Amino acid sequence: MRRVGVFICHCGTNIAATVDCQKVAEAAKSFPGVVFSMDYKYMCSDPGQAVIKEAIKTHNLNRVVVASCTPRMHEPTFRKTLAGAGMNPYLFEMTNLREQCSWVHSDKEKATEKAIDLVKMSVAKVQKNRELFPDYIPINKKALVIGGGIAGMQAALDIADAGYKVTLVEREPTIGGKMPMLDKTFPTMDCSACISTPKMVDVAQHPNIELMSFSEVQEVNGFIGNFDVKIKKKAKYVDYSKCTGCGLCETKCPKKVPNEYDLGMGVRPSIYKPFAQAVPSKPIIDAKNCRKLVNGKCGVCAKVCPTGAVNYEDRDEIISDTFGAIVMATGYDLFKWEGAYGEYGYGKFPDVITGLQFERMVNASGPTGGKIIRPSDGEEPKTVAFIKCVGSRDPLKGKITCSRACCMYTAKHAHQVLDKISESKAYVFYMDVRTVGKGYEEFYENTLHDKAVYVRGRVSKIYQEGKKLILKAEDTLSCKAIQVKADLVVLATAMVPSAGSRELAQIVGFLPDLNGWYQEAHPKLRPVETPTGGVFLAGTCQGPKDIPDSVAQAGAAAAKVMGLFSNEQLETNPMTAKVNETICSGCGTCAPLCPYKAIQLIDVQERVHGKFVERKVAHVNNGLCQGCGACTVACRPGAIDLQGYQNDQILEEVDALWAW
Amino acid sequence: MKEVELAIAAKQNRAEIHAIEKKSGVELTDCYQCGKCSAGCPVAFAMDKTPRQIIRLLQLGLLEEALASRTIWLCATCQTCVARCPKEVDLPSLMEVVRQTAKKRGFVAEKDINLFNDIFLQNVKTFGKSPEVILSALYNLRSGHLFQDVDSVPHLFLSGKAHVLPEKVKNVDAIKKIFAKCTEGGEHS
């Protein structure tokens, strides 16, 4: 015998202004199965919930319908109320009278009629609802951080400091990312390497962190609390257990190639550390350029190595491990302007460089020892022009997005030019100056007072005239066509998602946004989580950011991981898909449709005419299933049903609308 | 549109613009071109360039264009702009110094205003104040606008606002000293 209680909420005047709540409550009394019905001003309030509990007891209710706001808002609230009254929380139905009725209608009479129909449907469905019970899955309290830039390092350190094990995977030979490449950081002019390299050392020495440099994540299976991950350790050709990092091999290597770390402005040997403070502080062999590995003739490094650490036979290795949470910290790359901006010379003018090249140049440990020079002739430039938004805010050639850090680093570069080169001039071409961080506007003002000339307008063309570069633009503030003869041009190129980040997202099991940045679960309220449970975001992989924001987000992601790890086990949502194996034909249509990779085909044994036969059926992993229902509609034999939204429940709703 | 070579303009005029900044007490880089000054300026309707544009020209080193503008002569020094400026840029003071520079360099876009200013100051120097009769008589004669405002003359005399004989302040010497101090390092305006 079903005994249904119906509770109609006024939501102040949100519902009551357009729906006659008393009339709805009155009408509900006549629905089959309803033994109690009432209306109340705020059902979600403490006294409102007390009324529900009291009614459950007095009227011996075994089904409850609350007609109020959206279930996204208060379904968990009322489920708890039922549980508090000793009922299974899934013997409950919520009718949305606000978003789907009162807020979208103005005719009170008709809205009330619709409200009665909506409640009618819920009353019908709730009588078919069954008790549901959550599953519990264990949590593997070990985190995987992908990417060893400042965000990845910070997240790894924070999680490790909380006492949990962390594996940090970095695809480059050293951790650190872009930050140690920079000279000084705005607005405080801290030496970038001085504040980032100690963090690199901390990561390497932390007892809870396992550092896997020169490695890449290849495969991720499983779900929150239990990710099975395969990591490829790329061949380094140096046995790190023997190598002492003495550096002798690097000095003797005969094959020099352009140094990626200095963006091609210097050279490095083929057995190398990217830079002096690299962590791990041991070299790798660049297999593409090493003479021994390419044509078998050389082997100098093996000969000079005092510990016999060089191993030309080294091969890639696949490591498997299980993690409870994954932090994505894959960072950014710079927009390849050379392929897009013909008006700036497609990269054929040697004295048109990027901001990051400028950073390497002005850095005391960079290829020029901190001297700002023209790459073409090595002379000191007297007039330096800066162009902002190269690839940013340019939907045609680059990205529609603002890269957020360029306004500030350009202000810093202009300041450095005026500071380091006497009698120099700096021109900054901009569209807007965006100084959103703490102390940033003040920094920009200082640069203005250094007499950097800011010209509001995009440069339309750069061409060479003798040794000079001619820039043409309009100063839109004075409406004048202007021209600057510069010795050096620095482009503030856009931040774009790092190479391979889209593929990696697919491997881990979530989707990037339209621009390729990693999509957060909610732009305001869940900014460090992905829609995939247990996968979190840190730093610029989520969108362009500066260092303080990256570090802050990394801390937030780490806090989310710690929150997850503070539980012994995880309660799953019982409203997941369930396969009726007796009628599943094993066609497998459902599996590729599942956006959460929750369906697999498994073998089952059956007795048919006295014989055991084996056949395939679909199986839903409750930890992964998010209850979206995509599989249920695709299933031809109708073998998959979504718990809480089962076919008979839905049909009962539809029937009630016409039959009652 | 004529194209401007910024680096050259800046180089040629750097010293002079620096002198204007020093004399007026205005740091040109303070202005971030929000335009609040020009939006509130009561004389802007008559100007060929808004006060903001004058600052922009100076920021870019385009001194001659600023000097040739009528704007600098039309500024009434009412101080509305500086009272509202978020960066406390003293535009009236800047306008004054730019006017002086313009005069020195032979850019006088508003000859009558310049003449009026000269007669006014000469009067103050002589009498300690500027007698209306002498000011308007000299201005009308020298500007050639002989009959400008003559219809109001009878009313001014009858109501006692104008007197045939000029009054003097008690201590004209003190005024002269002020002039001497102000024009230290060269006559202007």
Minimum Cα–Cα distance from B55: chain A residue? A478
Minimum Cα–Cα distance from A442: chain B residue? B30
Number of helices (H) and strands (E) in chain B: give both, helices first.
11, 1
Contacts of A451 in chain B (CB under 8 A): 29
Give the pLDDT mean for A407-436.
Answer: 96
The whole-chain average pLDDT of chain B stands at: 91
* More confidently predicted of A626 and A86: A86
Number of helices (H) and strands (E) in chain A: give both, helices first.
17, 34
* CB-based burial label for B169 (10 Å; 0-12, 13-18, 19+): exposed
Residue A30 phi/psi, 5° resolution? -85, -5
Confidence of residue B185 (pLDDT cuts 50, 70, 90): low
Taking CB atoms and an 8 Å limit, are B6 and A455 in contact across chains? Answer: yes
Residue A416 phi/psi, 5° resolution? -65, -40
Strand A611-620 with A142-146, pairing: unpaired
How far apart are the C-alpha atoms of A61 and A36, rounded to whole Å?
Answer: 8
Q: Does B181 touch chain A (CB under 8 A)?
A: no
Taking CB atoms and an 8 Å limit, are B3 and A455 in contact across chains? Answer: no
**Looking at residue A607, what is its pLDDT?**
87
* More confidently predicted of A596 and A352: A352
**Partners of residue A536 on adjacent β-strands:** A327, A529
Residue A393's region, left for phi above 0, alpha for psi from -120 to 50, else beta, is left
Residue A420 near residue A412 (C-beta atoms within 8 A): no
Taking CB atoms and an 8 Å limit, are B3 and A472 in contact across chains? Answer: yes
Residue B105 has pLDDT above 90, yes or no: yes
Chain B nearest CA to A192, separation (Å): 29
DSSP state of A494: P
Minimal CA–CA distance to A80: which of A35, A44, A109, A112? A44
Minimal CA–CA distance to A451: which of B97, B24, B58, B90? B58
DSSP state of A519: P
Minimal CA–CA distance to A389: which of A433, A421, A350? A433
Collapsing DSSP states into helix, strand and coil, what is residue A558? helix
Contacts of A445 in chain B (CB under 8 A): 29
Minimal CA–CA distance to B113: which of B105, B101, B121? B121
Taking CB atoms and an 8 Å limit, are B7 and A477 in contact across chains? Answer: no
Contacts of B52 in chain A (CB under 8 A): 477
Confidence of residue A610 (pLDDT cuts 50, 70, 90): confident
Contacts of B53 in chain A (CB under 8 A): 477-478
Contacts of A483 in chain B (CB under 8 A): 3-6
Strand A383-390 with A425-430, pairing: parallel
Taking CB atoms and an 8 Å limit, are B5 and A484 in contact across chains? Answer: yes
Residue A228 near residue A319 (C-beta atoms within 8 A): no
Taking CB atoms and an 8 Å limit, are A427 and B27 in contact across chains? Answer: no
Contacts of A383 in chain B (CB under 8 A): 7
Compute the half-sphere exposure of residue A334: CA atoms within 13 Å on the CB side of its CA: 17
Confidence of residue B10 (pLDDT cuts 50, 70, 90): confident
Minimum Cα–Cα distance from A455: chain B residue? B60
Taking CB atoms and an 8 Å limit, are B59 and A453 in contact across chains? Answer: yes
Residue A183 has pLDDT above 50, yes or no: yes
Q: Enter the tokens of residue A31.
A: 């629905």
Taking CB atoms and an 8 Å limit, are A478 and B6 in contact across chains? Answer: no
Chain A nearest CA to B69, separation (Å): 13
Which B residues, 46 through 65, put their C-beta within 8 Å of a C-beta on chain A?
A: 52-53, 56-57, 59-62
* Angle, vertex CA A333, rays to CA A372 and CA A414, nearest 5: 30
Minimal CA–CA distance to A433: which of A454, A461, A460, A449? A454
Residue A107 has pLDDT above 50, yes or no: yes
How far apart are the C-alpha atoms of A150 and A200, rounded to whole Å?
Answer: 9
Contacts of B6 in chain A (CB under 8 A): 427, 453, 455, 482-484
Residue B6 has pLDDT above 90, yes or no: no
Taking CB atoms and an 8 Å limit, are A453 and B3 in contact across chains? Answer: no
Each residue of A310-366: pLDDT tens digit?
A: 999 999 999 999 999 999 999 999 999 999 999 999 999 999 999 999 999 999 999
Each residue of A23-78: pLDDT tens digit?
A: 999 999 999 999 999 999 999 999 999 999 999 999 999 999 999 999 988 999 99
Contacts of A429 in chain B (CB under 8 A): none
Which residue type does B145 have? H
Question: pLDDT > 70: what percent of chain B?
Answer: 97
Q: Which helix (H) or strand (E) holds A162?
A: none
Contacts of A486 in chain B (CB under 8 A): 7
Minimum Cα–Cα distance from A481: chain B residue? B3
Residue A612 has pLDDT above 50, yes or no: yes
Q: Which of A425, A445, A481 sits opposite B3 (nearest CB)?
A: A481
Give the pLDDT mean for A231-251.
Answer: 96
Minimal CA–CA distance to A78: which of A114, A42, A107? A42
**Looking at residue B189, what is its pLDDT?**
44
Residue A570 near residue A136 (C-beta atoms within 8 A): yes
The whole-chain average pLDDT of chain A stands at: 95
Residue B187 has pLDDT above 80, yes or no: no
DSSP state of A526: B
Domains of chain A: 4-126 (3.40.50), 142-331+522-565 (3.50.50.60), 334-496 (3.50.50.60), 577-643 (3.30.70.20)
CATH 1.10.1060.10 domain position(s) in chain B:
6-104
Collapsing DSSP states into helix, strand and coil, what is residue A57? helix
Query: CA B76 → CA A98, A613, B113, distances in Å?
Result: 61, 102, 11
Query: CA A283 → CA A247, A249, B17, B178, distances in Å?
Result: 8, 9, 56, 78
Strand A325-328 with A535-537, pairing: parallel
How far apart are the C-alpha atoms of A147 and A152, rounded to whole Å?
Answer: 5
Q: Does B137 touch chain A (CB under 8 A)?
A: no
Q: Which CATH class is domain B6-104?
A: mainly alpha
Mutate to test the interface with A, among B60, B71, B87 (most CBs of A within 10 A): B60
Give the pLDDT mean for A76-88.
Answer: 95
Minimal CA–CA distance to A590: which of A647, A644, A637, A533? A637
Taking CB atoms and an 8 Å limit, are A481 and B4 in contact across chains? Answer: yes
How far apart are the C-alpha atoms of A87 and A616, rounded to whole Å?
Answer: 38
Minimum Cα–Cα distance from A385: chain B residue? B7
Contacts of A449 in chain B (CB under 8 A): 27, 29
How far apart are the C-alpha atoms of A407 and A417, rounded to whole Å?
Answer: 16
Q: Does B44 touch chain A (CB under 8 A)?
A: no
Chain B nearest CA to A486, separation (Å): 8
Residue B1 has pLDDT above 80, yes or no: no
Residue A375 near residue A477 (C-beta atoms within 8 A): no
How far apart are the C-alpha atoms of B50 and B44, rounded to whole Å?
Answer: 6
Mutate to test the interface with B, among A470, A480, A484, A485 (most CBs of B within 10 A): A480
Taking CB atoms and an 8 Å limit, are A455 and B33 in contact across chains? Answer: no
Predicted ipTM of the assembly: 0.78
Each residue of A451-498: pLDDT tens digit?
A: 999 999 999 999 999 999 999 999 999 988 999 999 999 999 999 999
